[in-house]
A = this chain, B = another copy of it.
C-alpha cells in the first residue's frame, strides 16, 4: 500500500496537507485572505500568483474556480480576478440567510450537549479565548471565524458544511477589513462564551434568540464601521 509514506513525507509542510496541489493552493489563498495578505478589491494576476505559489497557470486557474464559486473571489471575463468586496447591502443579505442556518446548526448541537460535537465547539471556543488573551489580533480573528465554522461543521450536516464557505467568506472578508481597527476583545470573549453556553444549556427558544442576536450585533458592528 502506498498510503503511509505519502502521509509521512508531507508532515512538515505546514498546517493541513491536501492530496492534490490544487487543494493546497486553494488553502493557501484562503489563508492569505484570512490574514489580510490579500485584501478586498485587490486584483489578482495569474502569472504572478502562479509563480509565487510555485504552480503552473492551469493548476492555479483550477484553484481560482473553486474560490470564485465560494464567493471569495470575483471573476470578470478578460478583465481578471479580484478579491470580493461585499457591499453593505450584500452583508445584510448574507446575515439574513445566515441566521436561520446557524440557528439550525446550534439546535442540532443542542440535541447532544455533552457529545463529541459540542466538545469540539467548546474546544474552538477555548482556542479563541486563548487567542484573545494572548493579545494577538490576527490569531483572535482567525479563531473567531474558526469558532463559527465549528458550529456549522459539528452540526454534522453535509449541506450546511457545503454552504458555510459561501456565507463564511463574506463574513470573513468584512471582518478582515475591520481587523486592524478591532477593539474591545473582552466584549468579544463574553459574547462568544455566552453563545456557546446557551447552546449547551439547550433551551430552544433561548438558542434561537441568542444566535439571532449574536449575528445581528456582529453585522451591525461591521456595517457601522463601513459607513
Interfacial residues, chain A to chain B (CB-CB below 8 A):
19-20, 58, 61-62, 65-66, 69-71, 77, 90, 93-94, 96-97, 100-101, 104, 157-160, 162-163, 166-167, 170
State in angstroms the CA–CA spacing of A214 and B146 once bound together. 35
Q: Is the CB of A159 within 8 A of B97?
A: yes
* A66 surroundings in chain B (CB, below 8 A): 65, 69
* A58 surroundings in chain B (CB, below 8 A): 58, 61
State in angstroms the CA–CA spacing of A90 and B93 once bound together. 27
State in angstroms the CA–CA spacing of A162 and B65 once bound together. 14
Q: List, sorted by A's number, 17 A–B pairs whose CB atoms are closer than 8 Å.
A: A58-B58, A61-B62, A62-B65, A65-B66, A90-B158, A93-B159, A94-B158, A96-B157, A96-B159, A97-B104, A97-B157, A97-B159, A97-B163, A101-B101, A162-B166, A163-B163, A166-B166
7 closest cross-chain pairs (CB), A and B: A65-B65, A100-B100, A69-B69, A97-B159, A94-B159, A58-B58, A19-B77
> A159-B170, A162-B166 known; 19 other A-B pairs, CB under 8 Å?
A58-B58, A61-B62, A65-B65, A69-B70, A71-B162, A90-B158, A90-B159, A93-B158, A94-B158, A96-B104, A96-B159, A97-B101, A97-B157, A97-B159, A100-B101, A100-B104, A163-B163, A163-B166, A166-B166
